[in-house]
Structure formats: C-alpha cells, structure tokens
Amino acid sequence: MKQNNIRSRKADSTVIATVILVTVTIFLAFVVAYWIRGTTENYLKFGKVEMQSGVCTWDSNATCWKITLKLKNSGTATAALLGAYINDEEIASYDQDSVVDGSTSTNMTTSTPLPSGASVTINVYIDQGYESLSSHTVVNVKIRCAGGAEYFKSIELI
C-alpha cells in the first residue's frame, strides 16, 4: 500500500512541474511580445502629408497672387511643416497675411505642427513683381517637413 502512495505522488509532482513550466513559458511569451510591440511601434510612426488641392486667385487690391493649399496628414504621427518654396526659392516672410513689393510670403509658420488626421489651409502670396512672373505661368510650390520629405504642387498663376 505504501508503494502505491509513493508512485501516485511522483505522478502528481510531474503534472505540477509541467503546469508551472507551461505557465512560465506563456508569461515569458507575453513579456517578449509586449517588449517587441513597444520597440517596433516607435519605428512605425510616420507623418505623411498630402496636398489635397491648390488654387490660385488674383488679388487686385494687393496686386498679388494668392495660392491656397489644403494639406492633410494621413500618417500615424504629427508632421512638422518647416518651410515653403516657390520654384525652389524659400518664401521670404512667414506668418504673414500680406506681401511686400517684389516678394513672397505665407501664413504658415516655420514650424507648423500637423497632427495625424488633421488638415490645414496654407496661403502663399506672390507679389506681381516677383521674378518677372506673369499670368498663366506655372510655378512649383513645395512644402518641406521635419522628416526630410518634400511635397510639390504645380500651380498656374491666374
């Protein structure tokens, strides 16, 4: 009778050891998965700006062209808009709603944040005397982001 009791104890300790081993393995798998998710999540975030539209109008009172750009961030992280360019020349004045003679300006700041999923309207002003531009001339408008990405739009002056 004593021998049967010892054999059943040995079987119980084997089952308990197996259960503990499986539990520890599952726990470690969750820890590793959580760690990997946290590490890769930072690398997968990105800002992707889309120029949804670009429209040019003539402001006869200010004698300048007004280009209205609608941008949307379709990425997973905030995009920082750092600069605006006309034909690869940086805009002369930022955070302005008017333009000086023979110059360019924009209402955008030099570090405009654009959160994920958000949209923004940017106005670019080009004076009539800037670089001998005239009506029906096509200009390339470029927006540069902090990540190094540049987004272009060709727009015909009215």
Give me 146's structure tokens: 């902090």
Question: Quick one: pLDDT at residue 3?
Answer: 59
Q: How far is CA 109 from the centre of its chain?
A: 16
pLDDT means over runs of 10, the chain (158 residues): 57 84 96 87 82 94 93 92 94 91 92 93 93 91 91 94
Question: Quick one: pLDDT at residue 69?
Answer: 96
Report the predicted TM-score, pTM, of the whole model to 2 decimal places.
0.72
Beta bridge partners of 142: 85, 152
Domain boundary among 11, 29, 44: 44
Residue 61: DSSP 8-state: T
Distance from C-alpha of 58 to C-alpha of 22, rounded to nearest angstrom = 73
Question: Quick one: pLDDT at residue 4?
Answer: 60
Question: Quick one: pLDDT at residue 80?
Answer: 93
Q: In terms of residue numbers, what domain contains 111?
A: 49-156
CATH number of the domain encompassing residue 86: 2.60.40.1890
Does residue 19 share a domain with residue 64? no
Question: Quick one: pLDDT at residue 125?
Answer: 95
